[in-house]
Structure 1
Amino acid sequence: MLVQPATPHSAAHWNEIEAAAPADARRVQDERLREQVAYLAEHSAFYRGKIGAEALSAVRDVDDLASLPFTEKQELRDSLAAAPPLGYHVAADPAEIVQIQASSGTTGSPSYVGLTVGDIRTWCELGARALYANGFRPGDRMLHGFGMSKGFVGGIPVVQIAQYMGIVDIPVGAEAGVERLLRVQADQRPELLIGTPHFLAYLAEQAPSVVGVPARELGVRAMSVGGEPGGGQPAVRENLQSLWGATSREMLGGTDIACTYWGECEAADGMHFLSPDLMVAELIDPESGERVEPVEGATGELVYTALARRASPLLRFRTRDHVVVTGTECPCGRTGYKVRCVGRTDDMLIVRGINVFPSAVKDIVLGLRPEATGEMRIRADFEGHSTQKPLPVVVEHAAGLAPDRHDELRCTMEDRVRSALNVKIAVELVPEGTLKRPDHVKVALVERV
């Protein structure tokens, strides 16, 4: 389905709501929320059964959401299983649904999300704000480095966002492989590149052997990275920008709500909340469930309520995405607070009582290049998420690293992790090329043994 293009509000912002005064944005958000809960009360059997039409109708503003229960991922799985194809939480007439997207389904069957024509436009508007903040502009051409298959939101929905923005997408997709992507980049010279951060880094590293020139000579001006934590980590960003000779900015989304809806601007210090008119984003303490004020330095889990959504609307949906707030003001003029995603709450490990996100260990490994390649895996030899022993970490050393330097590298790694994260790890060094490289399927940093 071709998407009717839209135009940006200004050279700085895709939509004027991005720079609205907080009080004005809140008024719009409260109004849209009242409209959305009224829609749920009338059309959603799922939320009438879970919350009740009267309780839904009592929601008058964002503060009232705190009195309502969360929507958990397992509830959606149960709903889909009980009432296929789209579950009890579908709230639009089947005749209105024109597209169905699927999650990765790493824990069983995928989650399926229905979209009406209006929902697709909302997804495109959300995505346009994020990619515009990342530096993508109408008239540009973009090489598509996310996976195009399996119904993932990084595929067709990204194509639709590009069409909506007036960007020419070249939908090769990560499944086509490194050689195909690099050949297309060398032939077509698109200015934009989109994909997961570690795959785009690997793509650049292969450029000299595949097309005979460094990636920085292939014409990329701006990159948008997402799909996994790490794109905003200094070591990851600096490596990407050095390899490609282009800016690298982070974005964040999720299948159940939309393709992408947080976007990092030129300040490059966190992803802005861009769409108070189209969604509510709450920050909560993952243990207590209590709200956390999104002030600089605050941490918590993101919870979303979709606004202006018809087919698969969600209310207070727990994403398990764990973020840190990096700021509440920005020179770019956007007024939404900024976050950096540090991992998923349910991916977090606990080592002798200390919380550790795998992405934090990965960041330290990346800082040890060129002695290490940057590839690592945590080999979890324990049940659950908690251990009292040092955390086993497998790290690739560079092919040219002399054997007598191995012990030094191992000790440096263990010391840096202990200093930065306050946990002990036990490093096993393996030769370059041992660990699986990223492709269209995200590589898990934790392997169970």
Structure 2
Amino acid sequence: MARGMQAEIATGDGQYWDAGLETAPWQEVERQQAAGVARMLEGLRDRSALYRRLHADLPAGAPLRTFSDLQALPFTYKADIGAALDATDDNRPFGENQCAGTEDIVQILASSGTTGRPFHYPLTRRDSEVWADAVAQNFFTAGLRPSDIVAHLVGLPMVAGGLPYADGIRRIGATLCWLGGFPTERILREMCRLRATAFLSTTSFAVYLAEQMPAIAVETGVAPRLRTALCGGEPGLNQPEIRERISTGLGLTRLSEMMGLGDVLSGLWAECACGDGMHFTAQRYVAVELIDPETGAAVPWQEGATGELVYTTFAREAAPVVRYRSRDHAVVTGTGCACGRTAPRIRCIGRTDDMLIYKGMNVFPSAIRDLVAEQFAGRAAPLVQVWKDSRDQVRFDVPIAVDVEAVEELPGAAQAALAGEIEAAIRSRLQVRVAVTVLSAGGLPRGVYKNSLIAVRDSAH
């Protein structure tokens, strides 16, 4: 699967970044990925103290001939990565999984830290090129083109959605307008004045832009030129109500969901023009599996299948990961597509890290949000916030506190009635009890970067 780092946009209708790769039979892609993983595993135990430990029980030189042979390798967990990052010394300042010399490392990325302490990941020069190419394919799949003027709204260059996203935009040949980090009002004004045609943001911030942009357009006297939006960092674009609010409010012709993971690669999944789920777009550099989260057994890529996503990087020099359990749970929405891409399509339905338990019943916060969006569209905003008493709280013996935002100002009695209806609907469908507080319109945060569905109460209060 080797090729030069300088990507070439396919000829023809221009809908592919790499037509040969993206339309190849998926079994052939997996065969080539298995060969790439086999090459990466050669000497890995010599380069990485982490995998010297995790793979200690594997026979030396055990062959990896087929993609299914991956199942014989142990999983890598977030805790393994964290422990490796903590074990630093002067020779390996980036921990026990540093597989390249410090003199060869050109960049450090950080996780956002929204679900715990931030992790730091090193990249070599080749790693950064791989990421730029993979992000470019991701964004091209999602609708960016060389003619676009792209407002990059992530304000933190060091995170996986910062510099790598900027590199991907430039790799496509689009015009990069990095507006993240400015006050929100300036972001909106500059998007109008610079005639931005596309932007990258979180889902919740895109909702906020849709609410505020009409007034800013009047103030600047420049009608928005936006036609494409790429949203990620949070779930939510599976809900028609959220998509409608963003698309209609901003006059978009294309709204695409995307997803990446700093531990692996910041651009992994993206929607094509057909929608209905995100294609895997990093097949040149990363192998992906779907597993049963309880048993660890492989789950075939079939429409309607659900499972946890597991990744193996076979083109990452500085900090490779083998069978990394992402804790992202997905449902497969298709294995073929009218666009011609052969990579499976998914929707992310929640994270193991976010799962809550109410008196023995499991529930994803995203399921609560989706129910509100589906059944109460027009009365409640498709945004919710679930409250925990502490970061580590998983179990609830009392109703789970949930904030919901009304779409318009409601008198007290109407707020109470809406709260009661939502509580009853959640109990009926999800079999858990919640205590709903209805907030005024605009009462929930819209962040430029990630907003967690879960909030932790301030223990000082």
CA deviation profile, 1:402-448 (whole Å, cap 9, x unmatched):
4442243223322332344343322222333443x122342222233
Within the alignment, does 1:274 sit opposite 2:281 as a pair? yes
Q: Mean Cα displacement is larger for which, 351-360 or 198-207?
A: 351-360
Counterpart mapping for 1:409-424 below 5 A = 409-424=418-433
Within the alignment, does 1:45 sit opposite 2:49 as a pair? yes
Q: 1:144 to 1:167 in 2, by over 3 A?
A: same
CA deviation profile, 1:57-105 (whole Å, cap 9, x unmatched):
4333321221121111111111111115211101112222111111123
Q: 1:349 to 1:35 in 2, by over 3 A?
A: same
SS at match of 2:346: strand
Q: Is the 8 A contact 2:193 2:222 kept in 1?
A: no
CA deviation profile, 1:274-313 (whole Å, cap 9, x unmatched):
3333111111222222222221111111111001111111
Q: Is the 8 A contact 1:102 1:110 kept in 2?
A: yes
Matched with 1:378 is 386
CA distance in 2, matches of 1:108, 1:130: 27
Q: 1:216 to 1:442 in 2, by over 3 A?
A: farther
Identity of aligned residues (%): 37
Matched with 1:127 is 135
Matched with 1:23 is 27
Q: CA deviation at 1:387?
A: 2.7
CA deviation profile, 1:90-136 (whole Å, cap 9, x unmatched):
11122221111111234654211111121112112221221111111
Alignment RMSD (CA, Å): 2.5
Q: What is the TM-score when the length of structure 2 is the normalising length? A: 0.89
CA distance in 1, matches of 2:439, 2:197: 37
Q: CA deviation at 1:358?
A: 1.1
Within the alignment, does 1:177 sit opposite 2:183 as a pair? yes
CA distance in 2, matches of 1:361, 1:68: 36
Q: 1:223 to 1:373 in 2, by over 3 A?
A: same
CA distance in 2, matches of 1:348, 1:144: 31
Matched with 1:9 is 10
Q: What is the TM-score when the length of structure 1 is the normalising length? A: 0.92
CA distance in 1, matches of 2:364, 2:223: 35
Matched with 1:233 is 239
Question: Aligned to 1:337, which of 319, 330, 344?
Answer: 344
Q: 1:213 to 1:264 in 2, by over 3 A?
A: farther
Q: Is the 8 A contact 1:38 1:57 kept in 2?
A: no
Q: CA deviation at 1:365?
A: 2.9
Q: CA deviation at 1:357?
A: 1.4
CA distance in 1, matches of 2:356, 2:383: 19
Q: Is the 8 A contact 2:202 2:233 kept in 1?
A: yes
Q: Mean Cα displacement is larger for which, 193-202 or 423-432?
A: 423-432
Matched with 2:216 is 210
CA deviation profile, 1:204-255 (whole Å, cap 9, x unmatched):
2112333427999411111111111112322222221111111211111011
SS at match of 2:393: coil
Counterpart mapping for 1:358-397 below 5 A = 358-367=365-374, 368-380=376-388, 384-397=393-406
SS at match of 2:418: helix
Within the alignment, does 1:196 sit opposite 2:205 as a pair? no
Aligned length: 444
Matched with 1:319 is 326
Q: Structure 2 regions of 5+ residues with no counterpart?
A: none
AA in 2 matched with 1:29 = Q
CA distance in 2, matches of 1:334, 1:292: 21
Q: Is the 8 A contact 2:108 2:121 kept in 1?
A: yes
AA in 1 matched with 2:178 = P
Q: 1:333 to 1:446 in 2, by over 3 A?
A: same
SS at match of 2:42: helix
Q: Mean Cα displacement is larger for which, 362-371 or 24-33?
A: 362-371
Q: CA deviation at 1:22?
A: 2.2
Q: Structure 1 regions of 5+ residues with no counterpart?
A: none
